[in-house]
Structure 1
Amino acid sequence: MQQSIGPAGAHCHLPVVSVDNVSFQYEQRNVLDRLSFDILQRDFVGLIGSNGAGKTTLLRMIVGLIKPTSGEIRLFGTPLGQFRDWERIGYVPQKNAFNPLFPATVREVVLSGLYGRKKLFRRMNKDDLRKCDDAMHALRIEELADRRIGRLSGGQQQRVFLARALVNNPELLILDEPTVGIDSETQESFFHMIRHMHQRHNITFLMVSHDIDMMHAYLGYEPAHTSGKLKFYVKHTHELDNCAETNLAHSLRDLRLAGFEEPAAVR
């Protein structure tokens, strides 16, 4: 059994992500070398490393966009090559991965998070549209629903991609620099929301962020695991008083009731 990067007492939870002796080479250079770890249910894993350390490469391998040179990745216990339940995973890539000329509205982009790789052409029903409306409301982009994604500001676009990743209430949320291009107030709102979701909802997080102070404030200052230039910071939660509601609008309502105010305007 390989090393878990969650806490010692959390072995009762099944691994959500298992990376077993994974290496990745690019142009004959080792980007990742024999990396092994487990991420357990309800872990929040913050990944920090210098440029070129392989952070984005690792996330892209986990979501199946590139293949490791060697080793194996498993999602929810299933080898990556056999995994089909992609609706269980939300993924926000780095902002520079987006083509600004993509001809789609905000609503269409958010709805695309519900399609899944095996449901690409299915018809949207009323429940799908409600989930879309909830996600847009939670990220405060409902007034942008009919705007073309390429005509939005960088901060607005990133809100759309966050809504797309969250629309299906995923069990695993993978975020690659999710707050780049978003104003500081909205960054704080976002961190509050995902901390609430981690503490009260059955969601596992894997996040790369440039905001080291925010990461340390929630995850601590001592990495649970180090591999090469990568440092993994982990916080585990297993609250018994889970929220009865699971939608995104509820998560932000809870923050407002706790006295946290959202920024006044979409930037």
Structure 2
Amino acid sequence: MKKQQNFAVEVEDLTVAYDSKPVLWDIDLKIPKGKLMAVIGPNGAGKTTLIKAMLGLLKPVTGAVRFLDGSGSIRTLKNQIGYVPQSGSVDWDFPATVQDVVLMGCYGKLGWIRRPRKSDIELTKQTLSKVGMQDYASRQISQLSGGQQQRVFLARALAQEAEVYFMDEPFKGVDAQTEKAIVALLKELKEQGKTVVVVHHDLQTVPDYFDWVTLINLRVVASGPVEEVFHEENLRKTYHNSAALLRSVV
């Protein structure tokens, strides 16, 4: 009997090294479809590395990553995979308007030669409205605040209309209002059946924001529903008994 599949991302035997030093070791991970998942762990645990390796931005030493029930790799399914990088890794001096940046999310459907269609322009307006940035469409991205820039890149990912989204610290450096707006959008994506994987630092908000969590520290410590794996024992294993940090959570 054929094994039933229902995963958005499957990582098998993934090892990543920098200068021959492993930063992720023997990672096995299966992320079900329709989950809003946090990736948590201490600084240097490999959270961003894991995201980049799954996206094909880093070449692993060993391992494989499959998407959407094994129907393809990042190469064949790139139009179905959205990515919001860390704000600090983006060249904000690039001469582009807010609308230009969001339209980039449509390029997978358009190709690089075709001009945007009326429907693409309308989708751009809708996504900017969703993130509260419709009044900034003609503004240069370099003129925006950190929170506004983050909203724009979230809008670009939404315009892609992907099935799986990866977001690397989307709440970093944003104000409380922007964080609340981003959380609402993430939960809306989940309700639409999308899968969202988020590198996250604030342990206190994990139970409120997410329904699935992966704890890593070079290896996967635990992964599963928040109510099952987000507990003191696993946190101590992940953060090596960091008492000050754990007291604020457990």
The TM-score by the shorter chain falls in which range? 0.7 to 0.9
Are 1:168 and 2:173 counterparts? no
Find 2:82's aligned residue among 90, 93, 106: 90
Structure 1 residues 223 and 135: CA distance shift in structure 2, 3 A: closer
Q: Could you say which residue in structure 1 is the equivalent of 2:206? A: 215
Q: In the alignment, is the contact (CA less than 8 A) between 2:33 and 2:194 conserved in 1?
A: yes
Q: Could you say which residue in structure 1 is the equivalent of 2:147? A: 155
Q: In the alignment, is the contact (CA less than 8 A) between 2:53 and 2:59 conserved in 1?
A: yes
Q: Secondary structure at the match of 1:207?
A: strand
Q: In the alignment, is the contact (CA less than 8 A) between 2:40 and 2:213 conserved in 1?
A: no
Structure 1 residues 131 and 231: CA distance shift in structure 2, 3 A: farther
TM-score normalized by the length of structure 1: 0.76
Give distance in 2, aligned partners of 1:135 and 1:183: 20
Give distance in 2, aligned partners of 1:22 and 1:177: 22
Are 1:46 and 2:38 counterparts? yes
Q: Could you say which residue in structure 2 is the equivalent of 1:180? A: 172
* Map 1:113-128 → 2, pairs under 5 A: 113-116=105-108, 119-128=111-120
CA positional deviation for 1:218:
3.8
Find 1:203's aligned residue among 194, 214, 219: 194
Matched letter for residue 209 of structure 1: H
Give distance in 2, aligned partners of 1:150 and 1:225: 35
Find 1:139's aligned residue among 131, 147, 165: 131
How many residues get paired? 223
Q: In the alignment, is the contact (CA less than 8 A) between 2:38 and 2:206 conserved in 1?
A: yes
Farther off after superposition, 17-26 or 179-188: 179-188
Identity %: 33
Give distance in 2, aligned partners of 1:128 and 1:223: 34
Give distance in 1, aligned partners of 2:214 and 2:32: 13
Q: In the alignment, is the contact (CA less than 8 A) between 1:93 and 1:175 conserved in 2?
A: yes
Give distance in 2, aligned partners of 1:230 and 1:186: 30
Matched letter for residue 160 of structure 2: N
* Per-residue deviation, residues 103-136 of structure 1 (Å, max 9, x unmatched): 1110000000111298233221111111100000
Give distance in 2, aligned partners of 1:43 and 1:119: 29
Give distance in 2, aligned partners of 1:206 and 1:139: 19
Give distance in 2, aligned partners of 1:48 and 1:69: 23
Are 1:80 and 2:73 counterparts? yes
Structure 1 residues 68 and 50: CA distance shift in structure 2, 3 A: same
CA positional deviation for 1:210:
1.9
Structure 1 residues 231 and 115: CA distance shift in structure 2, 3 A: farther
* Per-residue deviation, residues 207-262 of structure 1 (Å, max 9, x unmatched): 11122222222447x956656465565449xxxxxxxxxxxxxxxxxxxxxxxxxx
Q: In the alignment, is the contact (CA less than 8 A) between 2:39 and 2:213 conserved in 1?
A: no
Q: In the alignment, is the contact (CA less than 8 A) between 1:20 and 1:36 conserved in 2?
A: yes
Give distance in 1, aligned partners of 2:133 and 2:147: 11
Q: In the alignment, is the contact (CA less than 8 A) between 1:48 and 1:232 conserved in 2?
A: no
Give distance in 1, aligned partners of 2:21 and 2:63: 17
CA positional deviation for 1:160:
0.5
RMSD over equivalenced CA pairs, Å: 2.4
Q: Could you say which residue in structure 1 is the equivalent of 2:232? A: none
Are 1:28 and 2:20 counterparts? yes
Q: In the alignment, is the contact (CA less than 8 A) between 2:23 and 2:46 conserved in 1?
A: yes
Farther off after superposition, 25-34 or 226-235: 226-235
Segments of 5+ residues of structure 1 without an aligned counterpart are: 1-10, 237-267
Give distance in 1, aligned partners of 2:24 and 2:112: 32
Structure 1 residues 223 and 210: CA distance shift in structure 2, 3 A: closer
Q: Could you say which residue in structure 2 is the equivalent of 1:58? A: 50
Give distance in 2, aligned partners of 1:214 and 1:205: 16
Find 1:19's aligned residue among 11, 25, 45: 11
Structure 1 residues 233 and 144: CA distance shift in structure 2, 3 A: farther
